Amino acid sequence: MATDYLPHWKRLGRQTVIDTQFLKVYSDKIALPSGAIIEDYSTVTLPSGVVVVATDENDQLITQFEYKYAIDKVVLNLPSGSVENGLSPLETAAKELLEETGYASDDLELIQTTYEYPSKLDHVIHIVRARSARKVSNTAHEQTETISPVHLIQADMEDYGGIFDTTYNITALALTLPQYLKKQLK
């Protein structure tokens, strides 16, 4: 690869600061290529996740409003969730779409895998496009999810009832259906 010449940092030691089912926080001792030592470089590990850009059979974007505790705010959201052990990103996307919205799609495509903040997080987000989704069941939210009923929107709507304001939603839409971001740019 053309970037193989870039020197890598070397981990000299690692201390686990927090270890829960939701995240892990580490304090690493790092040797930089210059020879400088950083005694306490913090990194965070989160479960990998998927975000599903799904449209129904009428090409309406399947969204929902969801309460997000860390920011204490309700956001306009795309179906999303953590990749569980043993499941592929596409299997996780199908599972999350069904659980959060009651919709299913036979046309799932992995669009992109991204890192949110690779200087401090090793968190990976898989962006999946689901086409021609149809309502097949009721929702089955997890205990940590506070999610509204499905909110269908069209790109030409004047008001979505909210804006997409999380990084993973904006990135997913930019790579798949950028017309839904026009409200962000005004």
Residue 163: per-residue pLDDT: 77
Tokens matching residue 9: 């940092």
What pLDDT shows up at residue 185?
Answer: 47
Q: Which residue ranges make up each domain of the chain? A: 10-45, 49-181
For residue 142, which of 51, 67, 48, 71 has the smallest C-alpha distance?
67
The pLDDT score that the predictor gives to residue 177 is 82
CATH class of 49-181: alpha beta
pLDDT by position in tens, the chain (length 186):
667 789 999 999 999 999 999 899 999 999 999 999 999 999 999 999 999 999 999 999 999 999 999 999 999 999 999 998 899 999 999 999 999 999 999 999 999 999 988 999 998 999 999 999 999 999 999 999 999 899 898 878 777 777 787 888 888 888 888 887 765 544
The CA distance from 107 to 115, in Å, is 24
Say what the pLDDT of residue 137 is: 96
Backbone angles phi, psi at 41, to 5 degrees: -85, 115
> CA–CA separation, 149 vs 134, rounded Å?
15
CB 14, CB 27: distance < 8 Å: yes
For the chain, report the end-to-end CA distance as a whole number of angstroms. 40
pLDDT number for residue 180: 76
